[in-house]
Amino acid sequence: MPEPKDHSSLPRPTPHSSRRSSFAFDLSLSRRSALRALGIAGFALASVPAWADELVKLPLPSNPRERPLTRDFPEKSDMILQRTRPPLLETPMEVFDRGVFTPNDQFYVRWHWAVIPNAVDVKTFRLSVRGHVNQTLSLSVDDLLAMPRVDLAAVNQCSGNSRGFFVPRVTGAQWAHGAMGNAQWTGVRLKDVLDRAGVKAGAVQVRFNGLDEPVVPDAPDFKKSLDIDHARDGEVMIAFAMNGEQLPLLNGFPLRLIVPGWYSTYWVKMLSEIEVLDKPDDNYWMATAYTIPDTPHANITPGQAGVKMIPINRMVPRSFFTNVANGASFATETTIPIRGIAFGGDTGVAKVELSADGGKSWLPTTLGKDHGKYSFRQWEAVTSLPVKGNHALMVRCTNVTGDVQPLAPNWNNSGFMRNVIETLQVTAS
């Protein structure tokens, strides 16, 4: 167990530039006048973004592969820019080589709607708990800080992480592998908050909403739900800190739902409303969006029709190389240190194995410190490539329930749940 940390001297939020924010769109403006405003700003920026001072090339199967590396976002360092508004920011792969926890300033960012509050006053912010409960609550951040506190290391991964590798390609954020991160989350148990409100008999789900809103008023607000038993399992958390600091606003300040082992779509950011439901949530974001084929690995054939769809849920095991990239070359006479990260999905990592012969034989790797079953786990091994020529390095994770990464990639229309064994083509000379 990590030593308790001293949080008494957290860094203050850094001052920010006076750059125009996306909230410059006044929603009361007519679309036409909003577009006029856009047009003027658009001329100023021309077609080359001012922040495109460096480009990264993602190893995607087809163009376009280049993305700007941006430092233009508040509380964020170098990030791969997938979309400026609303922000989609990807963590560069080398960040995962530096440690098992992903730093807050390089933790990936994903928002659905462009109306994101650009300020939150912790004195006036309230989390409401209502619906099928005995007592409606309106909790301040201080109220939560006064409750029993828990601390958990957990991977947050976008449902569509690695979507850019799907073949045939599919629409959506064209992520490489960096729509994931691992943090030490600190907060309170959702169960304790629900108990304080008193869940009535007959409750079936709990719905979560954040402060973000659609640009168009009648568009579906982003809300997600968990079954009541899941919500009360004692592991689902409301976090007010990540890696010992308050959350960056773009990662959900001041409160974020933490759903260990489940995809990030459920980890509602800027959590402001908890609603206990006495019937299943049929809102768009549960019933239609973020659904997967009810098949092994959520896998179907492109074009396959009549597939039963279910809400995406538990994560599956994955493993990655972090110190070697595709196309690397090595001298035949040297030993090659290889390392990376893995996670078990909804449970811990049992083993990570390495193959240097394209999957014909597998060798054990050494696992790093165990930070709990929902955390990244580092792995390392030493190998060599004694024969000159091309070689395929592969890494695979098996979790403690025996679930192992598949050799063949899955495919579905949304580009969800990719967890194929990763392969690097390298050369020995």
Q: Which of residues 104-143 bind other proteins (CB under 8 A)?
A: 113-114, 116, 118-123, 141
In the sheet that holds 335-343, the strands lie side by side as 318-321, 335-343, 377-384, 366-367
Q: How far, in Å, CA of 122 to CA of 142, rounded?
A: 8
Applying the rule CB under 8 A, the residues between 267 and 286 that interact with other proteins are: 284
Out of 23, 300, 383, 404, name the contact with other proteins by CB under 8 A: 23
Q: For 80, list phi and psi in degrees, rounded to 5.
A: -80, 125
Q: How far is the CB of 102 from other proteins (least distance, A)?
A: 17
The one-letter amino acid at 267: W
Applying the rule CB under 8 A, the residues between 282 and 341 that interact with other proteins are: 284, 288
* Per-residue interface string for the shown chain with other proteins, residues 380-409, x marking contact by CB under 8 A: ------------------------------
Judged by CB under 8 A, the number of residues near other proteins is: 96
88 binds other proteins per the rule CB under 8 A: yes
| Nearest residue to 263 (alpha-carbon basis) of 209, 313, 225 | 313
Pick the closer one to other proteins by CB: 52 or 420: 52
Q: How far is the CB of 417 from other proteins (least distance, A)?
A: 19
223 binds other proteins per the rule CB under 8 A: no
Q: How far, in Å, CA of 23 to CA of 13, rounded?
A: 19
Q: How far is the CB of 368 from other proteins (least distance, A)?
A: 15
CA distances to 96, 100, 145, 409 from 376, in Å: 9, 6, 27, 22
Give Cα 386 to chain centroid, integer Å: 39
Out of 46, 201, 305, 408, name the contact with other proteins by CB under 8 A: 46
Out of 78, 97, 213, 245, name the contact with other proteins by CB under 8 A: 245
Out of 150, 309, 367, 404, name the contact with other proteins by CB under 8 A: 150
Q: Which residue has the tokens 């580009």?
A: 415
Q: Which helix (H) or strand (E) holds 82?
A: strand 79-83
Pick the closer one to other proteins by CB: 39 or 306: 39
Applying the rule CB under 8 A, the residues between 162 and 201 that interact with other proteins are: 169, 171, 173-174, 186
Q: How far is the CB of 246 from other proteins (least distance, A)?
A: 5
CB burial of residue 331 (10 Å; 0-12, 13-18, 19+) = exposed
